[in-house]
Structure 1
Amino acid sequence: MANQSDHISKRIQKFIAKQKIFFVATATEQSRINLSPKGMDSFRVLNEKKVLWLNLTGSGNETAAHLNENGRITIMFCSFEGAPNILRLYGKGTVIHPNHKDWSKSIDLFPKLAGTRQIISIDIEMVQTSCGMSIPYYEFKGERLELDEWAQKKGEDGIRQYWKDKNESSIDGIPTKIQEGY
């Protein structure tokens, strides 16, 4: 039932554009596997071999730590309405901070959101679709605004302090290099 390809087809790009939630998974050889749900308007397909994800401030920064170590990343989308489908994008990810050469051309692709932490650039190695026939239907009712409101209240200085306090290393003690990126 699974189909594999080395690129994101136009049909798959349309599927991605309709999704309201996706999941990000990363790990190093020694770390715990990190699997996180993501939402908001934070995912872009640049072409059939490259995607970007706008990473916002969160309780941890596991993805950056893991990508700095080995670059391995998987993104998963599930169809919660319409035809069943599960899509996985396997690739190598790079963390882009404001001092990175690609920041200015990448950040303008996203809405301005408080708490923007970094952009994850992913070079696609494999695209896999599978049936998703066991995935239940869910109705999208709207975006949660709490993260954006929290980040706005903290302000830029408060966010940077939060990064220092909570985002400099993973739960396994792997450095995220967040302070080097600003």
Structure 2
Amino acid sequence: MGKSILMIVGDFGEDYEIMVPFQALQMVGHDVHAVCPEREAGETVKTAIHDFRGDQTYLEERGHDFELNATMADVDPADYDALVVPGGRAPEYLRTHEPVLDAVRHFFEEDKPVAAVCHGPQILAAAGVLDGYDITAYPAVRAEVEAAGCSWVDGVTTDRNLVTGQAWPDHPEWLAQFMDLLGDEVSHGEPVAAADD
């Protein structure tokens, strides 16, 4: 049975970290509402594509216009079963919006599944919910999330209700672990080829 999932996004969030989970979770039957503070359903946020080419940090290029399908001001977190927090540059300003932090706190207070990737844990740190967790994030924000009270793990990890990944290359395992928390049946082995007809 599909779950109701809230996804908090903003301008210059990472394109793959918004689009891929938004579509993949819908594909398996979940109802995903993407919201942004001070924007309404039908409006868009601009995404960015972050690529890793061997430089000291990532390269950022313009992504897509991603259409919101719900209005944050109308959202009651109690109506949702789970939360997704993508990364990119959006978390650095999304964490300054009290309604965003209040929504995040609800999911932790109620022990609901949360998936955060890349810079998304910056929002969790600002909400004060990371104390005692084992998590990962984009390595450049390690000091920030550790200062919020968590322990650092290299690689995708699940600790209680929270699944974290370092960046979009982690999608297969990050989404699989999140879907496990949602109660979806997920194969973690080698892909199974279709039988010849």
TM-score, normalised relative to structure 2: 0.27
Query: Which one scores higher on RCO, CA 8 angstroms, separation ≥ 6?
Result: 1
Q: Which structure has more helix as a fraction of its residues? A: 2
Q: With structure 1 as the length reference, what TM-score do the two structures score?
A: 0.28
